[in-house]
Amino acid sequence: MGNQAAQSAKDMHSSAMQSMTEGAGHTRQFAATNLHPANVMATMTTHAGNAKTFAGENVGGHAATIEMLHHAVCSMKPEHVRHLLHGGVNVNEPIDKEGHTVLDAFAVEHQSMLEQLIKLHASPEEKTNVFYANQENAREIMHLLMEHGAKMSSPESSRNRVAYVA
């Protein structure tokens, strides 16, 4: 019984080794034909096109809310702001129970962005490039908000509320 078990184990081992050797040959053949640079690029191009189509048709299905507009403004993302305003968000809807508006949040975020830029450890050229990019985003967001009638919260209500802090 012991010899028979040993022989059976040797046979299984031999069979496994043969399968692996044959499999390696198939793998090499698969790699040589399917992983050719032209095939890889064609596959990547197809995937990129499909991803763009999917994103165009399926992304952005969230309801446009004042919370999302507030986040887009504080993130200084003009395209998101444009999309949300196009979706009908009221720019003068309060963003908190004290009655602050998105324009209040924009002013605070813009000031914070400038303070962070001053503290940035970078060359003057890099700081200048960052400043121009940030200002362009801020200008575009300000323009979009003003086009939609955005207003700061009223001074009358400011006496009874806490200052807005991002």
Tell me the residue type at 59.
V
Place of tokens 């200002």: 135
Longest dimension (CA), the chain: 98
**Whether the predicted model's global pTM rises above the 0.95 cut:** no
> Which residue from 23, 5, 3 is spatially nearest to 15, judged by alpha carbons?
23
- Summarised one tens digit per residue, pLDDT across range 4-36 is 767 777 777 677 666 666 655 566 666 666 667
User: DSSP character for 121?
Assistant: -
**How many structural domains does the chain have?**
2
Same structural domain, 34 and 92: no
- Among 26-30, 84-88, 151-155, 162-166, name the one with the lowest average pLDDT: 162-166
pLDDT class for 2, splitting at 50, 70, 90?
low
At 1 the pLDDT is: 54
Q: Determine whether 104 is exposed, middle or buried from the number of CB atoms within 10 Å of its CB (0-12, 13-18, 19+).
A: buried
Distance, in Å, from the CA atom of 132 to the CA atom of 162, rounded to the nearest integer, reads: 32
Helix (H) / strand (E) element for 8: namely helix 2-34
Contacts of 103 (CB under 8 A, 6+ apart): 91, 145, 150, 151, 152
Does the residue 166 lie in any domain? no
pLDDT class for 45, splitting at 50, 70, 90?
confident
Range of the domain at 144: 66-158
Same structural domain, 94 and 127: yes
Mean pLDDT calculated for residue range 66-87: 94
Does the residue 163 lie in any domain? no
Tell me the residue type at 113.
M
At 144 the pLDDT is: 97
